[in-house]
A and B are shown apart, each in its own frame.
Chain A
């Protein structure tokens, strides 16, 4: 299998063995062509070249979890997501990127940058997974992403929602931040025409809408919150957020999307706060200070992912999200900032 084969078929992936083969090809390619990843691997594990060549002959320990079950035989070296803030993480000259995504920079102000060589890979990954989770529609979309508009085309979230609206939306889908009457209009239209309504919104964008009014969305409507829990107010717990969204949007179901500019695949929750990755993405919860040590189900740690859609950047990524594995999915508990690691924090798992 070649890297071009992986690019062509990764979204058709069904068998876990195929994932294992593909990720081996991708990581070998990235080691050869991504200088940041190669230097990182060499620095942390000088024998990595040898390890890569022995990939298929390694043991049979189950390290990675995902929605379609799976066994991956190796624990790859995970690039800390902070690398995207510090240097171009690419397998190609960054100036050849078709698109540059930047993080929103709501944390300490330094933005991550993801140079995307082939936007169609990203669009295929998000549309195939969206269709798996929600169907192919068509849908009436309402987006509510205040703040992200300032980022313009650099926001991967805006690009994703715009693309999904074009791909699966009917005419009249629109952006509704600060315009409750527009959402009401879309809700009425959804009822009248029988076209399901999907509301994509950042947490505080949705809460802002609910401050002005409450809504009685149709029972088949879906509210998808995309995170953004601390954009311009105090932090809010996800359980509290979902409670308020359910109260404010009537009969609609509430789901969550997990994504970031550094990853070209995203995950959706189905019920509760558990996210499920697409078949071409695997995850693991690891000890944040010793990421070669995976943690058993139920224990809090850092979320690590393998994302085949990141074929031209880095597919093995150690995020800064605190997470816990729940069966084939994971729950995100919050951020794992360096300041948190230093400070006098405790884990509130019993509450």
Chain B
């Protein structure tokens, strides 16, 4: 029987150690992460680690988990995406704090941060049941699954999930990816974040919005990809804020190369666009469509009802807007103040689903 209170204390102690940028395990993990094939910058990794670790106090962990606990322990497989530094930390904590065994995959994009933190945590609390394994071993060994992916990826995983549909159940011997029942799978589709302006925003609001748009180079489902603005509002204030943000969080070396093709296409079709010095960001006017990472789409509206109607049809993870704008939105998902998109809280519910609830019901 695991002692959850002891475990929470261990997590908090490990997080406290990790708050120090010079802590050896953190330093080694960060250095290894920055050498991996990803788009992380040192500043963005530092931001993510500090932000996530600052949340992990014993009190906050206790309030997040509450009395929720699994009635029987199982092995929870988690396919970690790796597009964002420390992505998957919440799933790991939810799994072990609800009393399950954790079996994670290691993303080649972010091979060190989460595994090193987990290994370090085991120094504080030896009885933690957590391991990492290659994908095929993970799928073979897990009793439950948490996975995030594209439509096709999720389709393949769903088709490998027993009990999806009557006709699927007839094909037991046809080489399925895994044999985990559908009810024990939590699949998260792809999504993006949206910003909504009303023209009354002040300079400091734009500063925060710049972080929502540019941190992590446009990757991740919490990144603001589409900015709605009332017709006629000039984007200058946001552009200036984005340029200032780049002074604090320098662009990744690959971003300009990625955006060059996007910029060329905008020029080819004669679309209105703006970009930062050395192509450190790109903004274009047009239809409300998520563009490539690092490319913000600026879309104008005449009536907020049009924004509400669009939001209801899109895979939107969250919306950032000032409080006076939030009151006019009918979006039923997560509404945040500008500057909160890249700062997920412990109790954040991706796709509106509570991971702890899912795990405690297994």
Contact = CB atoms under 8 A, between A and B. Distances in A.
Given A338-B290, A350-B135, A344 B260 contact: no
Given A40-B264, A83-B269, A240-B159, A322 B152 contact: yes
B111 interface: no
A191 B140 CA distance: 46
Interface string A29-69: 00000001101100110000000000000000000000000
B92 interface: no
A259 interface: no
Contacts of A342: 190, 192, 218-221, 223, 225, 290, 292-293
A243 interface: yes
B268 A40 contact: yes
Is the contact region of chain A dominated by helix, strand, or loop, or is it mixed?
mixed
Q: Which of B152, B155, B177 has the most C-beta atoms of chain A within 10 angstroms of its own C-beta?
A: B152
B203 interface: no
B152 A335 contact: yes
B155 A235 contact: yes
Given A37-B268, A334-B152, A345-B149, A339 B315 contact: yes
B81 interface: yes
B83 A343 contact: yes
B151 A335 contact: yes
A109 to B, nearest CB: 8
A21 B145 CA distance: 53
A335 B219 CA distance: 18
Interface in B288-312: 289-293
Contacts of A243: 171, 174
Given A44-B261, A343-B190, A338 B150 contact: no
Interface in A196-239: 229-230, 234-237, 239
A351 B154 CA distance: 11
A87 interface: yes
A: interface residue count bin: 35 or more
Interface in A292-351: 322, 333-335, 337-348, 350-351
Interface string B28-50: 00000000000000000000000
Nearest to B84: A344
A108 B190 contact: no
Contacts of B293: 338, 341-342
Nearest to A340: B150
Contacts of A341: 219, 292-293
B98 interface: no
Q: Which of B80, B157, B159, B191 has the most C-beta atoms of chain A within 10 angstroms of its own C-beta?
A: B159
A83 B268 contact: yes
Contacts of B263: 43
A265 to B, nearest CB: 23
Contacts of A40: 264-265, 267-268
Given A235-B154, A348-B135, A343 B192 contact: yes
A181 B218 CA distance: 52
B140 to A, nearest CB: 11
B258 A36 contact: no
A123 interface: no
Nearest to B105: A346
B210 interface: no
Contacts of A240: 155, 159, 168
B287 interface: yes
B242 interface: no
A169 interface: no
A86 interface: yes
B192 A244 contact: no
Given A237-B156, A338-B289, A43 B257 contact: no
Given A110-B287, A342-B225, 6 more contacts: A239-B159, A341-B292, A342-B220, A344-B84, A344-B149, A351-B139
7 contacts: A43-B268, A83-B265, A339-B191, A342-B221, A343-B220, A351-B156, A351-B160
Interface of A: 36-37, 39-40, 43-44, 79-80, 82-83, 86-87, 108, 110, 229-230, 234-237, 239-240, 243-244, 289-291, 322, 333-335, 337-348, 350-351
